[in-house]
Structure 1
Amino acid sequence: MGRPGTDSRTPLLDQLQGPASLRNLNDDDALKQIADELRTELLDAVSVTGGHLGAGLGVVELTVALHAVFDTPNDRLIWDVGHQAYPHKILTDRRDRIRTLRQGGGLSGFTRRSESEYDPFGAAHSSTSISAALGMAVARDAKGEQRNVIAVIGDGSMSAGMAYEAMNNAGAMASRLIVVLNDNDMSIAPPVGAMSAYLSRLISSRPYRSLRHLVRDVTAMMPSPVARAAKKAEEYARGFVTGGTLFEEMGFSYVGPIDGHNLDHLLPVLRNVRDWRDPGPILVHVVTEKGHGYAPAAQTADKLHAVARFDVVTGTQVKATPAAPSYTAVFGRALVAEAEADPLVVGITAAMPSGTGIDAFAKRFPDRTFDVGIAEQHAVTFAAGLAAEGMKPFCAIYSTFLQRAYDQVIHDVAIQSLPVRFAIDRAGLVGADGATHAGSFDIGYLGMVPGIVIMAPADEAELMHMVATAAAIDDRPSAVRYPRGEGTGAALPARGEPLEIGRGRIIREGGGPIAILSLGTRLQESLKAAEELDALGLRTTVADARFAKPLDAALVDRLAREHEVLIVIEEGAIGGFGSHVLHHLAVSGALDAGLKIRPMVLPDRFIDHDTPAAQYEAAALNAAHIVATALTALGTSRHEAGLKPSLVG
């Protein structure tokens, strides 16, 4: 159902041969039908694969209009974040693969340059589109080329400072650039209808622009006070009608708001903007509804932003019953427990309350919860200000998003030894979201910061203890990193107990030639590997580091002294925990005694979307690879190990 050429519900869509076919139609009614069919195809495809649904449903008409009006891919169309790009993928050259979304070897859930010429810029983090589009516009002008550059950005992404930095630069440079503000939260726009659509068409039309130029020329000849008054009056009147004064002040010509689901309103405005020959950037304000056209989306608070496989008729999602609570949920539970005992504990999120577990905290303590929008830099310095006044802020941000606030971590938090507690969700590989969302680098980029405490739990009970530990640290910053997905099923305490800072633990005494030192949730794979090595006659010790920093030097020294081989494993890139262990052992002289140390880290490449199990297999960070690493270090094979008693400690 819904496959090209086989579904009678999508007859026009089945005939399309890329966006050029849309431009050859010259029939706006046909474009409306294609939009309806595109929504049908989107629902059918995502019901099979899961993924981001609500955002795509909200831009179906806008996607059709943009490709019908602009000469893509020669005209550059850049989607911010990419959550909403599934309809774009269907209309371009990827409909035949749309049911491979977010699966191993399949389409990315975001825009990606290597995937299609219709994706001129890859994205998965927010608020990058205007900067990239401005760069492309300037390159176009430098090369003397002719093309439109269009950035589509949501109102949520406009909460990030980077978007305004780019707009300020674009306004100052006066390069021709089109920004489509997709406002799906009514956070900026007044209600739209026939009158606002008429005004938008008027403002974008050539006669109106000519009239504005005439007014500008006339006022230029007036005495300065009169000219300034006339200009202010015109700006006030236009801003009162359209809400565009802010963007005009930044150097953009503002058009809107426009009903983004009404092609009768949308198409003529985009055509006017396409044919606009005045210099300078333009902002087209389009109002849409997330989840538009699908009743089950309208009935949910998040408009079905992200879904598992689902039944199209009912909207019921097919979700496996979890064997254990997620690490995200456990963090929320642990934070609530700390806040119940301490009124100074507060929670901060950068527009990801449910993704970080802060939503559970917000239900219990709404007055102590702060969602600062997509503004990670601000979130960190805001937390620093809270900490400077004696509060106990927990700043919950995905590992991959915290990268955006690295200067603030160093300059505003660490140098001042402020006790900001970083709760770093999505540590390690993350499955279907792929490389853009993988938490590969936080151990490395935080590990070099003086004074910070870095923890990684081996299971969900350890996470509760580490949240309690962070709450108790009052003289320096701390971080606890934890993965996406379910825990191990460990019994959870009502409230965590603070751990001794910088102390790991022995989980399994082996007494043989091999020791495994694990940081984080690779501990379970380490224990599996130890059992297999034991079966080969190679008794193996397993330790849980708990802390990447400060390093438990005594534990590392003991493992190095008592074993021939030391394997250090983590869910992070090179330069992280293993590097700290190697540095310590090199300085201490332990390597001079012939210790065979083997750090196991994420490989030096980006790992594409797939199942987590497949990703960790590709990264060589599972039990089988731990066993192989140990045997190679000993200079033996799996078969030989079982035949050589001399290898048994």
Structure 2
Amino acid sequence: MVLEEIGSPDDLRDLTTEQLAELATEIREYLVEAVSRTGGHLGPNLGVVELTLGIHRVFNSPHDPIVFDTGHQAYVHKLLTGRNDFSDLRKRGGLSGYPSRAESVHDIVENSHASTALSWAAGIARGHTIKGETDRTTVAVIGDGALTGGMAWEALNSLGDADDRVVVIVNDNGRSYAPTIGGLARKLDGIRTDRRYEDFLGWGKRTFENRGACRNFAYRTVMHGKQALKGLIQEPSMFDDLGLKYVGPIDGHNLEHVEAALRHAHEFGGPVLVHVLTEKGRGYSPAEKDVADRFHAVGKIHPETGLPIEASRFGWTKIFADEIVTAGHERDDIVALTAAMLAPVGLQPFADEFPDRVIDVGIAEQHAVTSAAGLAFAGLHPVIAVYATFLNRAFDQLLMDVALHKAGVTFMLDRAGITGDDGASHNGMWDMALLRHVPTLRLAAPRDEPTMRTAFREALDVNDAPTVVRYPKGPVGDNIPAIRTAGAIDILAEHGSGEAADVIVFGIGSMAGTAIEVAGKLAADGRNVIAASATWVRPVPDGLAELVAGAQLVITIEDGLRDGGVGEEWADAVRDSRVANAASVRWEHHGVPKEFLDHASRAQIIEQIGLDASAIADVARDALASS
């Protein structure tokens, strides 16, 4: 097998055309077989096999830095740079699902948040220019979906104003998580479907077959081909106007064309944009036939059919999907917004029912949030569904455009807390610590299906402030009913003699079950213990100070940052209260440490950071013993 002989990009340079074709086939077979066992991003990587081969044959990584945006299209890059063991992909100790500096000097940018690669490339290239390293070219591979992000256009504007050696490769497959939307998508689609381009491809294929392999074939066809092609190449004036030379569109699955176009771009010596057309899921029949893009990211699947090995359990996202459709039938002021993730965040059913009340802004979270403020001003109630980690990108807009203007906007934060196998950039662990600083913002952390549905409906009724409902990734556990309430706090379990509680354990959101476990362990020591939770954790729930007054120890558990998190805000509020015996209560806060967490399962990370019930109970015992 050719793939077994590839240990670094240098091993690609002497391969024949036939060997390269065989290598491309072997890579696709390997990816299907490996990713079907572990889960991961399959479709994007099947689409960039020839493109990645061409990049590594033309450029000299890591001397020529290669930046991927987003990193979910870097599996082929990993294989070609010596990482050929995918058996533990996205598992603790195995390969990351994104580029990782810890894995290889060939990996530059680890952050999998989209639309950032061009800014990275601009900075790297300018650094090379300042240092006089004129023999180095920086390569940025960006999907057409990521070009819907405003930051990418800020970078293009900067790149075109410089003369640094940068090659921007637009991997245009017409999709990000879903079909790419917006004016740019229409522009690229117009280029992609122009009859002159189709005629050129057919002519070029015939010419290539007649001439045989020619290293500079694509350069010659681009520069000296039919007159019709010249007009087509000149049409993307938006890039020329920005100061970038445009080459394309190139058939991204014709390695000779890809390689020759990249050589031409490399030799130019300034900022060049190469427009490459690819097919997501190329070479794998189930992915090629799929119109719903189920193969963008997969769990464990049967490689022959693409069907999941285990059926997905009813999840948090599905609850939201159901509830917003029901609410949409009851209220015609609800409008939903998404940032290029209609299906992943559960808005597809709402879009099917109310197509005129869904706005997909592309990968542009800042625009989504500020435009939601505008929708609220116009008399609607916007609902923004986004992964928790991506809300970070629009914090200023939430603060200054939504909160400052008292806009009634609801944010549904999917994948909040520890997500695990996608790694540091995808853990939604920052939101609660960030959002506690936003005046008037109300934050809910439901613990089960009933509290999730109720929190969403209550959020929709707030029209003078931002509301946030956060919920974790994955299946929903059993319902956790309250046995009684104390103000706005739900009492979930009580252990002891009926006297005042020695210990009160609060579980925030998905950690409510852990709080019940901790309470049980401490009760076994003979303590009077209460396990409690509150669906709305901000503002500080009514009745908190009265409930904890007189307790020896109050424990808070959250799957967000411990420092500056909900627990600390609650403790500060109780200390400032005038409730007797409340200010002197001892608190122990448990949450996620202020550090980036490597990829592993959620359970492994929970244990690693001491957020499991046994570890928390042990800390509590030490605290009680020393009090």
Q: Please report the TM-score for the alignment, with normalisation by the length of structure 1.
A: 0.86
Aligned to 1:602: 592
Separation in 1, partners of 2:112, 2:378: 35
- Kindly indicate whether the alpha-carbon contact (under 8 Å) linking 2:246 and 2:275 is maintained by their aligned counterparts in 1: yes
Structure 1 residues 207 and 560, CA, compared in 2 at 3 Å: closer, same or farther? closer
Pick the aligned partner of 1:292 from 266, 274, 282. Answer: 282
Separation in 1, partners of 2:566, 2:522: 24
Which amino acid in the other structure matches residue 123 of structure 2? G
Counterpart secondary structure, 1:286: strand
Alignment of 1:325-340 (within 5 A): 325-340=314-329
Separation in 2, partners of 1:62, 1:595: 62
Aligned to 2:237: 245
Pick the aligned partner of 1:195 from 200, 215, 223. Answer: 200
Which amino acid in the other structure matches residue 271 of structure 1? R
Aligned to 1:532: 521
Pick the aligned partner of 2:491 from 506, 510, 528. Answer: 506
Counterpart secondary structure, 1:37: helix
Aligned to 2:247: 255
Structure 1 residues 598 and 72, CA, compared in 2 at 3 Å: closer, same or farther? same
- Kindly indicate whether the alpha-carbon contact (under 8 Å) linking 1:205 and 1:272 is maintained by their aligned counterparts in 2: no
Is the aligned partner of 1:131 residue 2:119? Answer: yes
Separation in 1, partners of 2:583, 2:245: 71
- Kindly indicate whether the alpha-carbon contact (under 8 Å) linking 1:398 and 1:424 is maintained by their aligned counterparts in 2: yes
| 1:593-617, Cα deviation, whole Å (9 max, x unpaired) | 6422101111121222211111111
Aligned to 2:37: 48
Counterpart secondary structure, 2:248: strand
Counterpart secondary structure, 1:144: coil
- Kindly indicate whether the alpha-carbon contact (under 8 Å) linking 1:291 and 1:303 is maintained by their aligned counterparts in 2: no
Which amino acid in the other structure matches residue 128 of structure 1? T
Pick the aligned partner of 1:576 from 553, 562, 565. Answer: 565
- Kindly indicate whether the alpha-carbon contact (under 8 Å) linking 2:218 and 2:256 is maintained by their aligned counterparts in 1: no
Structure 1 residues 526 and 255, CA, compared in 2 at 3 Å: closer, same or farther? same
Separation in 1, partners of 2:139, 2:88: 27
Pick the aligned partner of 1:566 from 530, 547, 554. Answer: 554
Aligned to 1:519: 508
Separation in 2, partners of 1:614, 1:543: 25
Aligned to 1:108: 96
Q: How far is 1:444 from its partner?
A: 1.2
Aligned to 1:165: 154
Which amino acid in the other structure matches residue 11 of structure 2? S
Q: How far is 1:29 from its partner?
A: 2.8
| 1:78-99, Cα deviation, whole Å (9 max, x unpaired) | 111111111111111211x322
- Kindly indicate whether the alpha-carbon contact (under 8 Å) linking 1:347 and 1:370 is maintained by their aligned counterparts in 2: yes
- Residue ranges of structure 1 left out of the alignment (5+ in a row): 1-10, 212-233, 493-499, 637-646
Which amino acid in the other structure matches residue 273 of structure 1? A
Structure 1 residues 333 and 501, CA, compared in 2 at 3 Å: closer, same or farther? farther
- Kindly indicate whether the alpha-carbon contact (under 8 Å) linking 1:156 and 1:373 is maintained by their aligned counterparts in 2: yes
- Kindly indicate whether the alpha-carbon contact (under 8 Å) linking 2:502 and 2:529 is maintained by their aligned counterparts in 1: yes
- Kindly indicate whether the alpha-carbon contact (under 8 Å) linking 1:103 and 1:432 is maintained by their aligned counterparts in 2: yes
| 1:452-475, Cα deviation, whole Å (9 max, x unpaired) | 111110112101000100111112
- Kindly indicate whether the alpha-carbon contact (under 8 Å) linking 1:74 and 1:147 is maintained by their aligned counterparts in 2: yes
Is the aligned partner of 1:12 residue 2:2? Answer: yes
Structure 1 residues 321 and 128, CA, compared in 2 at 3 Å: closer, same or farther? closer
**Identity among equivalent pairs (%):** 39
Which amino acid in the other structure matches residue 247 of structure 1? F
Q: Please report the TM-score for the alignment, with normalisation by the length of structure 2.
A: 0.89
- Kindly indicate whether the alpha-carbon contact (under 8 Å) linking 2:218 and 2:260 is maintained by their aligned counterparts in 1: no
Aligned length: 589
Which amino acid in the other structure matches residue 260 of structure 1? G
Separation in 1, partners of 2:256, 2:52: 14
Alignment of 1:443-458 (within 5 A): 443-458=432-447
Q: How far is 1:579 from its partner?
A: 1.9
- Kindly indicate whether the alpha-carbon contact (under 8 Å) linking 2:447 and 2:480 is maintained by their aligned counterparts in 1: no
Q: How far is 1:591 from its partner?
A: 8.2
Structure 1 residues 255 and 303, CA, compared in 2 at 3 Å: closer, same or farther? farther
Q: How far is 1:268 from its partner?
A: 1.4
Aligned to 2:180: none
Q: How far is 1:208 from its partner?
A: 4.6
Q: How far is 1:312 from its partner?
A: 1.9
Counterpart secondary structure, 2:13: helix
Q: How far is 1:123 from its partner?
A: 2.8
Separation in 2, partners of 1:429, 1:591: 35
Aligned to 2:178: none
Is the aligned partner of 1:404 residue 2:393? Answer: yes
Aligned to 1:315: 306
Structure 1 residues 252 and 198, CA, compared in 2 at 3 Å: closer, same or farther? farther
- Kindly indicate whether the alpha-carbon contact (under 8 Å) linking 2:144 and 2:174 is maintained by their aligned counterparts in 1: yes
Aligned to 1:274: 266
Aligned to 1:643: none
Which amino acid in the other structure matches residue 245 of structure 2? S
Counterpart secondary structure, 1:150: strand
Which amino acid in the other structure matches residue 617 of structure 2? V
Separation in 2, partners of 1:466, 1:449: 19
Separation in 2, partners of 1:506, 1:530: 12
- Kindly indicate whether the alpha-carbon contact (under 8 Å) linking 2:200 and 2:229 is maintained by their aligned counterparts in 1: no
Deviates more, 1:502-511 or 1:193-202: 193-202
- Residue ranges of structure 2 left out of the alignment (5+ in a row): 176-184, 206-215
Aligned to 1:215: none
| 1:4-25, Cα deviation, whole Å (9 max, x unpaired) | xxxxxxx111112211010233
Is the aligned partner of 1:265 residue 2:237? Answer: no
Structure 1 residues 239 and 164, CA, compared in 2 at 3 Å: closer, same or farther? farther
Deviates more, 1:40-49 or 1:255-264: 40-49
Counterpart secondary structure, 1:466: helix
Pick the aligned partner of 2:14 from 9, 15, 24. Answer: 24
Counterpart secondary structure, 2:322: helix
Alignment of 1:623-642 (within 5 A): 623-635=613-625
Separation in 2, partners of 1:271, 1:562: 74
- Kindly indicate whether the alpha-carbon contact (under 8 Å) linking 1:418 and 1:476 is maintained by their aligned counterparts in 2: yes
Separation in 2, partners of 1:366, 1:333: 16
Separation in 2, partners of 1:591, 1:105: 48
Separation in 2, partners of 1:124, 1:502: 42
Pick the aligned partner of 1:390 from 370, 379, 384. Answer: 379
Separation in 1, partners of 2:305, 2:350: 31
Q: How far is 1:571 from its partner?
A: 1.3
- Kindly indicate whether the alpha-carbon contact (under 8 Å) linking 1:62 and 1:260 is maintained by their aligned counterparts in 2: yes
Q: How far is 1:199 from its partner?
A: 8.5
Structure 1 residues 366 and 610, CA, compared in 2 at 3 Å: closer, same or farther? same
Counterpart secondary structure, 2:309: coil
